[in-house]
Amino acid sequence: ERSFGLSLLEVFKKEEIKLSHVIKDQILLVLGLVCRAELEQTDIELYRTVEFIPK
C-alpha cells in the first residue's frame, strides 16, 4: 500500500496544479519531508527486496 506522502506527491505531479513557483517549491519540500519520515518508519528490508527492472 502506498504511503500517504507518496500518494499526495503523485497526485500533485499528475494534476500539474498551476501555482506560483514559490508555492510549488514549498509544497514539494513539505511532501518530501513527509515521504522521508515515512520511509524512515517503514521496514527498509521491504525496499531492498524490490527488483528494479531496467527499461
27-42 pLDDT per residue, tens: 778 878 877 777 766 6
Q: Is the pLDDT of residue 9 over 60?
A: yes
Q: What angle do CA 40, 29, 21 make, to 5 degrees?
A: 160
The pTM assigned to this predicted structure is 0.35
CA dist 27 and 47 (Å) reads 25
Note whether 14 and 40 are within 8 A (CB): no
Q: Mean pLDDT in the chain?
A: 69
Amino acid letter, 25:
D
